[in-house]
């Protein structure tokens, strides 16, 4: 395969320049302690120091997805922490729910949760997923992930910034690591 000529100078420059990756955010200790209390020792052993995340948009405005997607860009590079998004709920430890949980998405969300093996976490990300956000009270909205599932962690924001997403997911990793 002909290697693109213009890539060579770029590669050399990249070797000499700083990495684009941003440092990890700090995680509040009380969040870690609270999460640790929710997880029994046996589950800790099984999850280890990595998390597979299945994201489900339960009716968001799509801005929460934009920011969740940004976690995979080279700047946040989520996989360096042992966190990765997976396609199948059968491979997932964390269900990341965004959106206010529309009535039309309730059944699909429950199916996704049911397909995940235990132990499993539910994270409600974004103000909508916490309690319905601005869409609270609508005939078409259930009012957050908690109206259908046991929520372990909430990540506030409209949408949460990638740092806020990372902070929450790292808190789960930390909680698991502390026996």
Q: Which residues bind ligand SF4 (CB under 6 A)?
A: 60-61, 63-64, 98-99, 126-128, 133-134, 158-159
3-state secondary structure of 56: strand
The H or E element that residue 155 is part of is strand 153-155
- Mask 12-41, x = binds another protein (CB under 8 A)? --------x---------------------
The C-alpha atoms of residue 151 and residue 92 are separated, in whole angstroms, by: 16
Please tell me the distance from the alpha carbon of residue 14 to that of residue 95, in angstroms, as a whole number. Answer: 36
Q: Position of tokens 């002909």?
A: 2
19: partner contacted, choices another protein, ligand SF4, none (Cβ within 5-8 A by kind)? none
- Phi, psi angle pair for 59, to nearest 5°: 105, 30
# binding residues, another protein (CB under 8 A): 50
Identified binder of another protein from the candidate list 12, 24, 33, 158, rule CB under 8 A: 158
51 to 110, contacts with another protein by CB under 8 A? 55-70, 72-76, 85, 87-88, 99-100, 102-108
**Is residue 145 within the footprint of another protein (CB under 8 A)?**
no
Residue with tokens 């996704």: 112
Distance, CA of 49 to CA of 178 (rounded, Å): 10
Footprint of another protein on this chain (CB under 8 A)? 4, 6-7, 10, 20, 55-70, 72-76, 85, 87-88, 99-100, 102-108, 111-112, 134-135, 137-141, 158-159, 161
């Amino acid at each position: 395969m002909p290697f693109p000529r213009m890539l060579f100078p770029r590669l050399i420059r990249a070797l000499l320049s700083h990495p684009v990756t941003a440092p990890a955010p700090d995680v509040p200790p009380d969040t870690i302690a609270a999460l640790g209390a929710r997880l029994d020792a046996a589950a800790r052993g099984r999850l280890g120091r990595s998390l597979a995340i299945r994201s489900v948009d339960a009716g968001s405005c799509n801005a929460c997805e934009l920011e969740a997607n940004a976690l995979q860009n080279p700047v946040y590079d989520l996989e360096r922490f042992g966190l990765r998004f997976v396609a199948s709920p059968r491979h997932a430890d964390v269900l990341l729910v965004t959106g206010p949980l529309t009535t039309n998405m309730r059944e699909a969300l429950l199916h996704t949760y049911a397909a995940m093996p235990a132990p499993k976490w539910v994270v409600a990300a974004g103000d909508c997923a916490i309690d319905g956000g601005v869409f609270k009270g609508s005939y078409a909205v259930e009012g957050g992930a908690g109206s259908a599932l046991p929520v372990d962690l909430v990540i506030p924001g409209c949408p949460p910034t990638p740092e806020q997403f990372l902070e929450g997911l790292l808190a789960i990793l930390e909680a698991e690591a502390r026996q």
